[in-house]
Amino acid sequence: MISIRASLALCVLLLAPGSSFAEALAPATQRFIEATAHRAALMGPVAEAKAVLRQPIFDPAQEARVLAVAAREGAAQGLAVGPYQVFVQAQMALARGIQGRWTPSTAPPASAEAARKALRDLRRAIAATTAAQLTALSQALPLLPRQEEAFRAALAEKLGAQGAQDGDSHALADAALALRFAAPAPEGLAALKARGTLRVGTTGDYAPFSYRTAEGTLAGIDIDLAQAFAESLGLTLTLVETSWPTLTTDLQSGAFELALSGISRTLTRAAVSGSSFSEPYHRGGKAPIIRCEDQDRFDRWEAIDQPGVRAVVNPGGTNEAFARSRYRSASLRVHEDNRTIFREISEGRADVMVTDLIEVQLWAGRDSRLCPALGTERLTYAEKGAWLAAPPGSPLTTLFNLWLAQQQGSGALADRFHAHGVGP
């Protein structure tokens, strides 16, 4: 039966071992590729049903209906409609190619009634994969250009397994990389209510604010805050992955309504047009972390900033800005992965890193080899806040500040910090 073949196609795809390319991609990007491949896996059964019903592979009226639906669905996810329709057109061209190369099975043909039912079932399955694809896309879109090579390779591999030709796969990858978020709607909060979702940008690499668990899910103080704020507005939370080097451009592009990731309130960020910071929910500052065995050696900043001392820093944020402005004699190396950077110190490949005191205290508690160099002394003063893609005084900023004040006054904010092993 056609519906059974469709199910088998999906099962084979789901059970297939992951590619080496996919391992280099963020989870949201992998989900987007899987959903795109699932949709392609349904095209052979669609071709079989159409052959029984003597329907053409190319159906302009049906494709026009799909494009109209795509415009509404893309807009609901905050995507720019034109580029998303181009992506859908490329996806339909790929589907036609797979259907055109379909080889009839040797089994007796299904009846017309069975074929019509199968085609209805298949179109519902296609709609479900499209919904999954859109959800993953809204989370992965800022990541695609930064993972272009691995993304193209993994997409081509997955689609090729479903019978797509290289030209069609490349065209679909081009269209995906050209996707962008629409400019924020002028009505702001009303648009959020109409869409039903709140998009929050986060890096997933800065414990205890935003990090990935061993299972790969996002967790942290800021993830809890994002979920609670979305629920307070009656909205569904969508977490959008960003990075420190691209945080500003992602916010300006409309990738999310606000960012929560242990973000320092700086004058440079506050000056970005059309953005604003919430009131601070944490006050701290920069502090050095070292191996415990070096505490006598590094008992003051002047002892740290010496020739032969190997400093390490993660790129793109206030840590790198501090390091480049304050180190005069120590050597400085950029380590790209903030999730593994502390092992560089504990395993002896670096001597010191300067980061926020709260992170120093967290990692000193997690790894007995690591200690604060200067106790609770801070080298700078800093505040953490939500960074909103809305001007000062906007309804969203005002609402977040009111909600945050209630979280602080009720003790709920302190509870969230304690739940992640640190004090507020």
Tell me what pLDDT residue 388 has. 96
Query: Which CATH number belongs to the domain containing residue 211 in this structure?
Result: 3.40.190.10
Residues 148 and 7 in one domain: yes
Tell me what pLDDT residue 23 has. 57
Which among 85, 9, 93, 5 is positioned nearest to 48, based on CA atoms?
5
Domain boundary among 177, 208, 225: 177
Tokens, residue 292: 């415990």
Instruction: Work out the burial of residue 266: count CB atoms within 10 Å of its CB; fewer than 13 is exposed, 13-18 middle, 19 or more buried.
Output: middle
User: Can you tell me whether residue 79 is helix, strand or coil?
Assistant: strand
Domain boundary among 125, 157, 177: 177
Say if 209 falls within a structural domain. yes
Residues 277 and 310 in one domain: no
Torsion-angle region of 264 (φ positive above 0: left; ψ -120 to 50: alpha; else: beta) = beta
Residues 21 and 97 in one domain: yes
pTM > 0.85: no
Residues 27 and 168 in one domain: yes
Ordered per-residue pLDDT tens for the chain, 424 residues: 444 444 444 444 443 445 555 557 888 899 999 999 999 999 999 999 999 999 999 988 888 988 888 888 888 788 889 999 999 999 999 999 999 998 877 666 678 999 899 999 999 999 899 989 998 888 888 889 888 999 999 999 999 999 999 999 999 999 999 999 887 655 567 878 888 999 999 999 898 999 999 888 999 999 999 999 999 999 999 999 999 989 999 999 999 999 999 999 999 999 999 999 999 999 999 999 999 999 999 999 999 999 999 999 999 888 999 999 999 999 999 998 888 999 999 999 999 999 999 999 999 999 999 999 999 899 999 999 999 999 888 899 999 999 999 999 899 999 999 999 887 7
Say if 127 falls within a structural domain. yes
Residues 212 and 313 in one domain: no
Residues 294 and 271 in one domain: no
CB 10 within 8 A of CB 41: yes
Residues 55 and 89 in one domain: yes
CA dihedral 144→150→151→153, nearest 10 degrees, is 160
Residues 158 and 228 in one domain: no
Tell me what pLDDT residue 191 has. 79
What's the structural domain count of the chain?
3
Residues 97 and 135 in one domain: yes
Which among 189, 203, 190, 364 is positioned nearest to 287, based on CA atoms?
364
CB 390 within 8 A of CB 312: no
Please provide the DSSP assignment of 285-354 as one string: -EEEEEEGGGTTT-SSHHHHSSTT-EEEE-SSSHHHHHHHHH-SSSEEEE-S-TTTHHHHHHTTS-SEEE
Residues 33 and 161 in one domain: yes
Tell me what pLDDT residue 90 has. 96
Residue 75 CB neighbours (<10 A): 15
Cβ neighbors of 26 (< 8 A, separation 6 or more) are: 140, 143, 147, 241
Say if 210 falls within a structural domain. yes
Q: Which domain holds residue 45?
A: 2-177
Tell me what pLDDT residue 99 has. 93
Give the CB-side neighbour count of residue 364, counting CA atoms within 13 A.
24
DSSP H or E run through 364? helix 357-366
Residues 162 and 234 in one domain: no
Say if 184 falls within a structural domain. no
pLDDT tens per residue, range 60-95: 888 898 888 888 888 878 888 999 999 999 999 999
The gap from C-alpha 177 to its chain's centroid, in whole angstroms, comes to 15
Please provide the DSSP assignment of 127-166 as one string: HHHHHHHHHHHHHHGGGGGGGHHHHHHHHHHHHHTTT--H
Say if 182 falls within a structural domain. no
Say if 12 falls within a structural domain. yes
Say if 424 falls within a structural domain. no
Tell me what pLDDT residue 185 has. 56
Please, which residues bridge with residue 197 across strands?
A: 236
The residue type at 325: S
pLDDT tens per residue, range 138-177: 888 888 988 899 999 999 999 999 999 999 999 999 999 9
Residues 85 and 124 in one domain: yes
Q: Compute the C-alpha angle 55/61/64, nearest 5°.
A: 135
Query: Which CATH number belongs to the domain containing residue 75 in this structure?
Result: 1.20.59.10
